[in-house]
Chain A
Amino acid sequence: MNLKMKLSIRVRHMLEGYIFILPWIVGFLLFMAIPLGRSFYYAFHRLEPSEHGLVATFVGFTYFRQAFTTDVDFLPLLQKTMTAMVTQVPLILVFAMFSALLLNKASRGKVFFRGVFFLPVIIASGAILRELLDQGAAKLPIFVQYDLFRKLAFFIPEQILEPVLEYADSLTLVMWDSGVQILIFLAGLQTISPILYEAAKCDGATKWEVFWKITFPMIMPMILVNTLFSIVNSFTKTDNHVMNHLMNIVFRNNDYGYGSAIGWLYFLFIFIVLGIIFLIFRKSMATAEGRA
C-alpha cells in the first residue's frame, strides 16, 4: 500500500498495463521465443539420442546445403506451394470481395445466405477437407458431367484448355477457402458511412465510379488484412506439401536438426513474401490516403 502511494500516476498506469499483458509475455517466451531460438540452434546441429538425452554436435550449414542440393523433394514442393499461393490468393480476394458486396445488399434471406457462405469454414477445413479431396468431392460435377473438355476442345487447343480447366477445378477450393475473408470484407463494408454514398449520388456518380472511388479505397485496410490472412493460411494449410514433408522428416526419420533447418528456411521464405506484400501495400495505402 505504501509503495503504491509513492508511485506517480503515470508509472502506476504503466505497471497496470504490464500486469494485463504479462501472461502473454510469459507465454511468448515459453512457447515462441525459446522454441524459435532452440530450433535455430538445432538447425546447425546434429541431434542424437543418448542416455543423457539429446546430444548436439555442431555441423554448420550442412543441413541448409542439404536442403538445396541433396533433398530432391524440398525445392519442387516449395515451388508448388508458391504457385498455389500466387494463383489462389488473388482469386480468393476477388471472390471474397464480390461475395461481400452481394451479401451487403439489404435483401430478404440475408441471414440464410450469410450462414451458408460461412459454412465451408466449419466443414471444409483440416482433416475433413483432406477427406473430401481424397474422395474427389472438391470438384463440381459440371465439368465431368457435360463432358466440357471434349466439347471445348473443338474450339480451343488442348495445351491452353487443360490448364484453364484445372484452374476452374480449383475454383471450388478457392470459394471454400474464402469464408473468413468474406466476413472481414463484410464487416469492413458496414463501417463505410452511408453519407459518402449519398454525396456521390448527388454528384451523379455511377455505381461503377462509386465502387472504385469510395468503396475500394475505404476497405483498403481490409484488403491488406485479408491478403496477409490468406497467405498465412495457404502456407499453413493441412494439404500443404512442405508441411507434410517436414513432418515426415521429423517424426518418421527422427531427423530433428534437418527438420528445424527446413522449418527455418520455410519461415524465412514466408517472411520475404509477406515483406513484399507489405511494401506493395504501403505504397497503395499512401496514395489512397493522399487522395482522401
Chain B
Amino acid sequence: MERIQSMARRQLLLKPGTQDRWKITMVKRTRSVMGTIIYYLVMLSLSFVFLYPLLYIISRSFMTSVDVANATVQWIPTHLSFANYRIAMEQIHYWPGFANSAIISFGSAFLQILSCSLVGYGFARFRFPGRGLWMALLLFTFLVPPQTIVVPLYLFFSDIPFLHMNWINTHLPFVVPSLFGHGLKGALFVLIFIQFYRRLPHVLEEAARIDGAGPVRTYWKIMFPLARPAMLVVFLFSVVWHWNDVFEPTTYLTVPDFFNLAQNMATFNGSADAQMGQMAQSVSSSQAIGMPPTLMNQIMAAVMLTIIPILLLYLFVQRYFVESIENSGIAGE
C-alpha cells in the first residue's frame, strides 16, 4: 500500500519535473531564436552603415540635377541618366589617368611583394648580429610620417645624385622605393611577411638543404610559393592604398598628363565647385531656392569611375582575402 502510494507520488513528482524540463528547453530555444534575430538585426544595420557610401555614390551618380535638388527623391532616381558618366569620363581624362594609376599601383604592388617577401624571410629565418637593431629601424620606418621627409625626397628625385636625372613626373619615385621594400607602407608589408614566414615549419627548409639547395634556391623554390596568403593580403592592400593615395602623387606628379585618377578627380571636383559658385551667382535668388545648381551627380559619377577598378578587384579576391588574413598571421603571435 505504502509502496504504491510512494510510487504514485514519485510519478506525480516526476510529471511536473518533465514539464519543467520541457519549459526550460522551450525558453532556451526562444531565447536563442531571439538572440539570432537580434544578432542579424545588428549585423544588417552595421552592414548598412558600411554600404552607405557606396549606395550613396551609386544612387547620386545616376540622378539628373533635377533629381538631386528634389527633396522627394531620396535614393532611387526618377529615371536612369548615364549623362553624368559621359561627362565625368571626359572631365577626369579617364583612360590616361587609369593608365597612370594602374602602372603605379600594380607595378608597386608587384615589386613590393617580391622585395618585402625577401626581406621578411631574411628577418624571420636568420639570426645575425644587428638583427634587433634593424628590426627596430623597420618599426621606426613605419612610424615616421611621410610629411617629415617629403622635402628631401622631392629634391632627391628631382636631381638624382651621380646620375643627374630628374624623376619628377615619371612613375619612378613610386616604383623604385618599392623595389627596395619601401614605398607606401612598405614596412607594414615586411612585417606581414615576417609574421607569415615565422609560422612555417623549419622541416621544409631542412629537407631542401639536405637535398643540396642553397639558401636562395630554398627561398625561391620552397618558401616563396608557400607565402601565397601573405602575398594576396599585401597585393590588395598595396594596390588599394596606391590607387587612393593623393599625397605622394601630388608631390611627384605635377603635370596633368601624369596625374593619376585620384588626382584627376580632385581637380575635377575643384573646378566643379567653382562652376557651381558661378551658377549660384548667375541665377536670381528666387530661382536658386527652387533649384539650387549642383554638379554633385557628376562628381559622384567621377568617384564611381575611379573606384570601380579596385571594387571589381576586391569582389574578385574578397573570398580568399579574409581567409588569407587569418592564415597570414597579420595579427602577430
Contact = CB atoms under 8 A, between A and B. Distances in A.
**Is the A/B pair a real complex?**
yes
Interface of A: 13-21, 23-28, 30-32, 34-36, 38-39, 42, 53-54, 99, 102, 105, 107, 109, 111, 113-128, 130-132, 134-135, 137-138, 140, 172, 175-176, 183-188, 190-191, 221-222, 225, 228, 232, 235-236, 238, 242-243, 246-247, 250-251, 256, 259-260, 263-264, 266-267, 270-271, 274
B325 A113 contact: no
Interface in B97-129: 115, 118-119, 121-123, 125-129
Contact of A113 (B47, B122, B177, B300): B47
Contacts of B148: 36, 39, 260, 263-264, 266-267
Interface of B: 36, 39-40, 42-43, 46-47, 49-54, 56-57, 60, 115, 118-119, 121-123, 125-129, 131, 134, 137-138, 141-156, 159, 177, 179-182, 186, 190, 215-216, 219, 240-241, 243-247, 250-251, 262-263, 265-266, 269, 273, 296, 299-300, 303, 306-307, 310-311, 314, 318-319, 321-322, 325-326, 328-333
10 contacts: A24-B122, A31-B182, A127-B263, A128-B306, A130-B246, A131-B269, A184-B331, A238-B247, A246-B147, A266-B147
A187 B137 contact: no
Nearest to A38: B152
Contact of B151 (A42, A134, A190): A42
A127 B127 CA distance: 42
Nearest to A184: B331
A208 to B, nearest CB: 15
Given A20-B119, A20-B123, A186-B325, 10 more contacts: A16-B126, A36-B152, A102-B42, A102-B46, A124-B53, A135-B300, A172-B49, A183-B330, A186-B322, A235-B145
Contacts, number: 268
A23 B241 contact: no
A23 B151 contact: no
Which secondary structure characterizes the binding site on chain B? helix
Contacts of B159: 53
Given A187-B331, A247-B250, A123 B54 contact: yes
A172 B329 CA distance: 28
The 9 closest A-B pairs by CB, nearest first: A27-B180, A20-B122, A17-B126, A126-B244, A127-B262, A38-B152, A35-B152, A263-B148, A35-B149
A281 to B, nearest CB: 13
Contacts of A186: 322, 325-326
A184 to B, nearest CB: 5
Contacts of A99: 46
Nearest to A178: B50
A251 B328 CA distance: 40
Contacts of B52: 137, 140, 172
Nearest to A237: B247
A38 B322 CA distance: 41
Contacts of B60: 135
A137 B47 contact: no
Contacts of B50: 116-117, 119-120, 175-176
Given A31-B153, A122-B314, A130-B266, A175 B145 contact: no
A221 B195 CA distance: 13
B111 to A, nearest CB: 11
B142 A20 contact: no
B325 A187 contact: yes
B329 to A, nearest CB: 7
A21 B246 contact: no
A266 B144 CA distance: 10
Given A31-B182, A35-B152, A120-B53, A187 B147 contact: no
A264 B47 CA distance: 40
B247 to A, nearest CB: 7
B141 A54 contact: no
A95 to B, nearest CB: 9
